Structure 1
Amino acid sequence: MDGTGGVPTTGDPGHGAQRSWREAREAARRLGLELAPPPREIPLEDALDAVLGDDVRALVGLPAYDASAMDGYAVAGEGPWRLAGRRLAGAPTPREGLRPGEAVEIATGAHVPKGAEAVLPYEGATVGEGRVAGDVTPGRHVRWSGEEIAPGETVLTRGTVVTPAALGLAASLGHETLPVRRPRVTVIVTGDEVADSGLPGEGTVRDAIGPVLPGVARWAGARVTRVLRLGDDRGTLRGALTGTGADVVAVCGSSSKGPADHFRAVLTDLGADVAVDGVACRPGHPQGLAHADGTAFVGLPGNPGAALVAALTLLVPLVTAMAGRPDPSLDTASVPLEGDVRPHPYDTRLVPVRVSGGCARPVGHDRPGSLRGAANADAYAVVPPGWDGSDVELVRLP
């Protein structure tokens, strides 16, 4: 894989041609726009925070029927009114309506009978000898059918992020599903030494990036539908990369060039087009991005700290573009960076920091194999090669 795509590359000569950190993020964004999946109908309970891929229209009016807005009496004509029954919310609606001079006791939310002109609240009513009296205003305290939303009216527009209130609105209008753009991501964690449970020990490590990526993907507008853990076998990895049904496959731990790293070879087997082959950043430079048959493949380093940086570099801009939403990691404000931070001569450094009082302060513990720094940070400070001490850009952490 040469990964250049005609775009200038940079980096340590010892690592060969690789994209700059900023170029890699832009390449991921462009590929996400190119491979954006069509909207899919998904159940309401799964649609929170997704982006609508189409307008949502009212299947019924709101209210769907004439409903009482108060506990009291539905009345017809002029009073005083003869009491002719009771109406409760959820009860079957009798066919017969009210005649002038009649009233029914009614609960909030109950169907207002035909012929009724208003609801007289309990507190304004006088009741005695089977009759009710009081002052009413025609149309008062009735939620008339369709007065809030007409059937067929557009209530949510394409590109809207689905909030809890939007879910409730859709449910109130009879929707069971919503058309959203939420990319589906499969995560594959490789390594004979990686265990998914128990204490790490002699020759084994716990998988730390598998638990990280579902939250990162959701924050970016995607959904991890499957997490697989595989040994270091080329044939097994190739089989896992095909037929996933995912829009994106993120492969952790096989992106470098060691004897157990098969990601590049498998991409060649699949005839994939390579967009990024290495990124000039620290940590996380052995990362990659390719696509074949409408699926994007993201290669992440095996070290968890480096893998998180790579996920923010490639996976997040890729899936946010697919989902049609802004990249939540981008922070347009530049801030002073305090402390003893030294730039790399060739690569962009991503330094975990806490942001307070308009300044970024390193939290330390930023080695590629550790998530301790990221777990205690708000963001990564972007320290370019040859940094001169000026204000730095931030990449927010989920």
Structure 2
Amino acid sequence: MPDPSVADHRTRVRQALTPLPGPVEVPLAGARGRVLAADVVAAVAVPPFDHAAMDGFAVRAADIGSVPVELPVTGVVAAGDPVPALQAGTAIRIMTGAELPPGADLVVPFEWTAGSDPVRVLETAAAGRHVRRRGEDVDAGEVAVPAGTTLGPAHVGLLASVGHRTVPVRPRPRLGVLSTGAELVNGDVPDSNSATIAAAAAGLGAEVTCFGPVGDDPAAFRARLRDAAAASDLVVTTGGISAGDHDVVKAVLRDEPGFWFGKVAQRPGRPQGFGVLDVDGRAVPVLTLPGTPVAAYGAFLLYGRDALAVLAGDPAGAPVRRVRLGAPVHAGDRTVLLPGVYDDNGHVVPLPGHAGHSQRLLARAEVLLVVPPLGRTLEAEAIEVLDL
């Protein structure tokens, strides 16, 4: 039987997961980078009232139909001041942001006038000139920011301006990262997998805790895995899933109901595994990845990114981004992950060198090219890329 494809394994992972319950309400100060769980409707209009867009004089258009014309000045209004009504045939000196006096329908900028009282208006204009109308930007009751938006500083400012102090956002999945291998525990090899995956997951909005490294003793691994699962919504393990004598992850989990271990038609990272662990009545998905650093990182971007997206509220998983190739790439019978960069045209090209194990090569890359198993040379086609 042929190895399952990358698409098959992605589907396996997605279909076993459901979005976390939510939403959660967070203050605006902590909302940057969060994803809105529902449309946010403006509680107040922006602007909240008609106001002057420039410093000048509030007048009636009917009073400056022919210019020049002199109008007595009956008051001064700055932002926040009480607003007197404008009488026909008069003007009120007004500052930018001040509420437009009742009776006025335009603002004549200072540059169009001479004198101060009476003011001599030198240019005419139609009603509405230099006035920002109530609700011109966002009206009360209008959707200010739609559900699914990843909030940036400008969104946060807009939400504050329409009268909100808190917003409903999707919960952040809790990710537990558990690396395995005696060589990591005794310090012979640094635990780069935990560092890489934790950094990638944090960039995807997860709350990350590292529970490793743990050695090759099954009892010790089982206990550490249970600790990780009890505190997480998703656990990612690295190492211990191939066919060696010390593959502790596979040894502990292969007999658990619903766990799958096998080979996926990809390079690097052919050995993969996935299942759902019952921890005190709570179903916790466990994604088991290879131990080779480049394979572990690539597999996390392929499958862990999808899993976090589903848990955060996107049942379809993470969006797929495609970019046109800038150089020919040979596609074989397996999906191949190649470190790549953008060329001067914004297309992607693979970096020269062996990609299967070189973390240095991966660190030079901007994206991973996901070369599909089409069995031919790809020229200028658009292929999936994974941001690094």
TM-score between the two structures when normalised by the length of structure 1: 0.73
Q: Is residue 283 from structure 1 mapped to residue 283 from structure 2 by the alignment?
A: no
For residue 14 of structure 1, what is the aligned residue in structure 2? none
- From 379, 383, 391, the equivalent of 2:378 is 391
CA contact (8 A) 2:9 2:264 kept: yes
Do the aligned partners of residues 182 and 146 (structure 1) sit closer, same or farther apart at CA in structure 2, a change above 3 Å counting? Answer: same
Supply the distance in 2 between the matched residues of 1:276 and 1:337 (Cα, whole angstroms).
34
- From 215, 224, 227, the equivalent of 2:209 is 227
For residue 229 of structure 2, what is the aligned residue in structure 1? 241
For residue 88 of structure 1, what is the aligned residue in structure 2? 78
Paired residue total: 361
| Cα deviations by residue, 1:5-64 (Å, 9 ceiling, x for unpaired) | xxxx634xxxxxxx43331122223335x4465444445465556554322211111211
Shift, 1:260, TM fit = 6.2
Q: For 1:138, what is the secondary structure of its paired residue?
A: coil
Shift, 1:362, TM fit = 5.2
Amino acid at match of 2:339: P
Shift, 1:182, TM fit = 6.0
Identity of aligned residues (%): 30
**Gap runs ≥5 in structure 2:** 65-69, 215-219
For residue 350 of structure 1, what is the aligned residue in structure 2? 337
Supply the distance in 1 between the matched residues of 2:110 and 2:257 (Cα, whole angstroms).
73
Q: For 2:301, what is the secondary structure of its paired residue?
A: helix
| Cα deviations by residue, 1:262-281 (Å, 9 ceiling, x for unpaired) | 54566689x77436655343
For residue 22 of structure 1, what is the aligned residue in structure 2? 7
- From 31, 41, 64, the equivalent of 2:48 is 64
Q: For 2:139, what is the secondary structure of its paired residue?
A: coil
Q: For 1:212, what is the secondary structure of its paired residue?
A: helix
Alignment of 1:1-398 (within 5 A): 10-11=2-3, 19-32=4-17, 34-35=18-19, 37-44=21-28, 47=31, 51-75=35-59, 78=63, 80-89=70-79, 91=80, 93-94=81-82, 96-128=84-116, 130-134=117-121, 135=124, 137-162=126-151, 165-181=154-170, 183-191=172-180, 193-194=183-184, 203-214=187-198, 216-217=200-201, 222-232=204-214, 233-234=220-221, 235-244=223-232, 246=233, 248-253=234-239, 255-256=241-242, 262-264=248-250, 273-274=258-259, 278-292=263-277, 293=282, 295-322=284-311, 323-324=313-314, 327-331=318-322, 337-338=328-329, 348-353=335-340, 360-361=349-350, 363-368=352-357, 370-377=358-365, 378-382=367-371, 384=373, 388-391=375-378, 394-398=383-387
CA contact (8 A) 2:323 2:385 kept: no
CA contact (8 A) 2:77 2:93 kept: yes
Shift, 1:373, TM fit = 2.8
Supply the distance in 1 between the matched residues of 2:154 and 2:244 (Cα, whole angstroms).
50
| Cα deviations by residue, 1:237-273 (Å, 9 ceiling, x for unpaired) | 31122033x4x3323345456676554566689x774
Do the aligned partners of residues 359 and 142 (structure 1) sit closer, same or farther apart at CA in structure 2, a change above 3 Å counting? Answer: closer
Q: For 2:7, what is the secondary structure of its paired residue?
A: helix
CA RMSD of aligned residues (A): 3.9
Supply the distance in 2 between the matched residues of 1:253 and 1:213 (Cα, whole angstroms).
13
Supply the distance in 2 between the matched residues of 1:242 and 1:133 (Cα, whole angstroms).
77
Amino acid at match of 1:373: L
Do the aligned partners of residues 114 and 330 (structure 1) sit closer, same or farther apart at CA in structure 2, a change above 3 Å counting? Answer: closer
| Cα deviations by residue, 1:61-93 (Å, 9 ceiling, x for unpaired) | 12112221111122368474433443333x4x3
Supply the distance in 2 between the matched residues of 1:125 and 1:98 (Cα, whole angstroms).
18
Supply the distance in 2 between the matched residues of 1:45 and 1:259 (Cα, whole angstroms).
51
Shift, 1:309, TM fit = 1.8
Shift, 1:318, TM fit = 2.5
Amino acid at match of 2:146: T
Q: For 2:322, what is the secondary structure of its paired residue?
A: strand
Supply the distance in 2 between the matched residues of 1:272 and 1:86 (Cα, whole angstroms).
78
Supply the distance in 2 between the matched residues of 1:133 and 1:390 (Cα, whole angstroms).
76
